Amino acid sequence: MSDQFYSYLSDKIIEFFKANPLSSGAKYNIQFEKKEQVEALYEELKDNSLYKEFEYKDKGKVKYTSYLLNYPNVKLIVATTISDIQPDFLTRLRNIVGVEEGYKDKAILFIHNTTLDSIMGGTESFAKEGMPFNINSIQKDIRRKLDDAEFSEVDKEIIELDLERKRKIFLVTVFLYLNIKTY
């Protein structure tokens, strides 16, 4: 996928939390299929004015380094499954956010390529209905941008047909995934 795609996703994340202020202890997740996708969004999301380094320390020693997005009242820790980070550690991080000293003014966003309940459980998916990465939300945003763009009517219709084709492919993929999971 292109850098433009990850730039678009990064912008959607920033916009979402500006329009929907974070609350302490909030937990979100963005799930990808491949590690390279996780890395690409993680790197792209760093490129903004809210970026600030984050270190998790245990007994004074740095155990994990990442970054956070420094929103006015709550800081959003961005955590990933890259660099051989163990799920147990990410579960620990999830559990202390908003609760323990030093983490009471924090929320967390996991960017991952797993199906681990320890990460997905207790977090809100960016792909669910009403969230910015939901297929309907993305299509609505693209259609809005198309209306404002200076494309010919033919080009707009081609893009509209492609959006609908991708939506159908997505729905079939989800249907197959859910049916396979039940066996």
Task: Look at the chain and report how many structural domains it folds into.
Answer: 2
Tell me, yes or no, whether 43 and 88 share the same domain. Answer: yes
Kindly state whether residue 172 falls inside one of the protein's structural domains: yes
Tell me, yes or no, whether 27 and 74 share the same domain. Answer: yes
The pLDDT value recorded for residue 183 is 47
Tell me, yes or no, whether 119 and 144 share the same domain. Answer: no
Nearest 5 degrees, angle CA 136-CA 138-CA 142? 115
Q: From 77, 104, 125, give the residue that closes a domain.
A: 125
- Is the pTM for the entire model greater than 0.85? no
Kindly state whether residue 17 falls inside one of the protein's structural domains: yes
Tell me, yes or no, whether 121 and 140 share the same domain. Answer: no
- Euclidean distance between CA atoms 133 and 74, whole angstroms: 22
Q: Which domain holds residue 161?
A: 136-181
The pLDDT value recorded for residue 15 is 93
The pLDDT value recorded for residue 36 is 93
Q: Are 77 and 109 in contact (CB under 8 A)?
A: yes
All residue ranges of the chain with pLDDT < 70 are 1-2, 167, 169-183
